[in-house]
Structure 1
Amino acid sequence: MPLTDVVAQTGPLDIIVVEDHDLVRLELVDFLSRPGVQVRGADDGEVLESLLRQRHADILVMDLNLPGEDGLSLCRRMRHAFPEIGLIMLTARVMPSDKTAGYQSGADVYLTKPPNVGELEAVIANLARRIRRRVANGLQLDVPRQQLTLPTGAVTYLTLLESRLLYELALAPERKLSTEVLMLRLDPRQEQPRMRGTLPVTISRLRQKMVTASSELEAIKAVRGIGYQLTVAITVRA
């Protein structure tokens, strides 16, 4: 079934193409864009995270060879943070071991370059039909509702700042961010002195709300000389 017909049945689709080769990325974005399908492009993991903060995505089409954080590591993080998302690896690596590593990192589909555009469209259409939220056994953060669901099923309500802070830590490499980066992302108005005093209080409140969620003494721990690290896994629903 053509992608346009699938979208008509399942609803609008949001895709992000993560590819550092400008021409390839632009061609894929242009090819996949159509009524009901919004496609954005990113050239590395940092840009991808920035786009996800603006709006969630249904499917990621990712290259393996990216500058900075490699595609496998990025795929693992995205799968962990967003279990329901569709992940397509698009790469020039063709060895069976490479494909195995891709699937072990959480990819739904592994396609080699140059892609057959008809096959890519069919893969996306198939993923769009069968994407379902995969329920995690641990903590679940619902960003729009500002709710944190504990493993027991109990729901605790968060402030906007608490929800954003958890989102940033859950998405970060090793679930760890420096104090400066965390303040910058939480404080778009650049009111650094105020945020520097607010941040420890917010983290203390979050620790209390998450105390029954883990055997860890602190769900968010201070890392000397760096910042803060989330010590428990969280599934994000953005």
Structure 2
Amino acid sequence: MTRPLELIVVEDHDLVREELVDFLMRPSVSVRGADDGEVLEALLRQRHADILIVDLNLPGEDGLSICRRMRHAFPEMGLVMLTARVLPMDKAVGYQHGADIYLTKPANVDELEAAVANLARRIRRRVANGLQLDVPRQQLTLPSGATVGLTLLESRLLYELALAPERKLSTGLLVQRLDPHREVPRMADNLPVTISRLRQKLASEPAGAEIIKAVRGVGYQLTVSVTVRA
């Protein structure tokens, strides 16, 4: 993604909202402000947002309800709750309503900036590389909405890499997981062929040929995040 990160601050206190908007604005970050849910919806109709920073005590619809709606409507959106509610129970409710991050007021602006930057990295990976693996159906859904049929071995290969630390496995461990009972002869020899065929199926994607890369002296690594439905 080369477009600016899109933030919306939902805060009914005018001075606080304006200060947060000014503080978070960067050449690579676009920040808009809304004082309630209706204004937020109007802004979203104009342009989508990657991350919302939402106060909970708002006029009309409260922040919890807004976050719950946004989480259902835009599951890829980042949600930061910024509120004066400090009890552990309040935090638990916030996360139950879809918050990615729960921060309490008065806000430490450096902590807020770091939290937004960390969340942005996760959101951008998810949005840019929105691959969804349906293991039972042996099917991969691309960001465009197109689907690619997979063989059982291709599906299992993606599954193992998607769930591995750093999405990376040694060749030996990958072969072992794909063929734990050594029922398929020469699995190690067949593995590069399987990966080559899988790359061909994903060739229409911008990074199709590099979605699975060989790591010299190690094995293979999945270079994009994949949401798995097992």
Query: TM-score normalised to the size of structure 1?
Result: 0.53
Residues 20 and 66 in structure 1, CA contact (< 8 A), matched pair in contact too: yes
**Match of 2:86, as an amino acid?**
V
SS in structure 2 of the partner of residue 20 of structure 1: coil
Match in the other structure for 1:43: 35
Residue 23 (structure 1) aligned with residue 19 (structure 2): no
Q: Report the 3-state secondary structure (helix = DSSP H, G, I; strand = E; otherwise coil) of the residue aligned with 1:66.
A: coil
Choose from 26, 43, 56 the match for 1:34. Answer: 26
Q: 1:70 aligns with which of 56, 62, 69?
A: 62
Alignment partner, residue 55 of structure 1 = 47
The residue correspondences of 1:82-97 to structure 2 (distance < 5 A) are 82-97=74-89
Deviation at 1:98, TM superposition (A): 0.4
Q: Residue by residue, what CA displacement relative to the aligned partner does 1:119-165 show, whole Å, maximum 9, x if unpaired?
A: 00100100111111476x9xxxxxxxxx9x7xxx7xxxxxxxxxxxx
Q: For 2:105 and 2:99, how far apart are their aligned partners in 1?
A: 16
Shift of 1:90: 0.2
Note if contact 1:10-1:128 (Cα within 8 Å) is conserved in structure 2: no
Greater RCO structure (CA 8 Å; 6+ sep) = 1
Rounded to whole Å, the distance in 2 between the matches of 1:11 and 1:77 is 25
SS in 2 for 1:64: coil
How many pairs are equivalent?
A: 135
2:102 aligned with 1:110 = yes
* Cα offset, 1:34, TM superposition: 1.2
Q: In the alignment, does 2:121 pair up with 1:124?
A: no
Does the residue aligned with 1:93 lie in a helix, a strand or coil?
coil
Displacement of 1:10 after TM fit? 6.6
- Look at both structures and tell me which one has the larger radius of gyration over its CA atoms: 2
Alpha-carbon shift at residue 11 of structure 1 (Å)? 5.0
- 1:110-189 equivalences under 5 Å are 110-131=102-123, 132-133=126-127
RMSD: 2.6
Which runs of 5 or more residues in structure 1 are unaligned?
A: 1-8, 138-146, 154-238
1-structure distance, mates of 2:39, 2:6: 16
C-alpha contact 1:10 1:129 (8 A) present in aligned 2: no
Please list every run of at least 4 consecutive aligned residues from structure 1 whose deviation after the TM superposition is greater than 4 angstroms. Answer: none
Q: Cα deviation per residue 1:151-198 (whole Å; 9 max; x = unaligned)?
A: xx7xxxxxxxxxxxxxxxxxxxxxxxxxxxxxxxxxxxxxxxxxxxxx
What fraction of aligned residue pairs are identical, expressed as a percent? 76
- TM normalised by structure 2 equals 0.54
Q: Distance in 2 between matches of 1:65 and 1:26?
A: 17
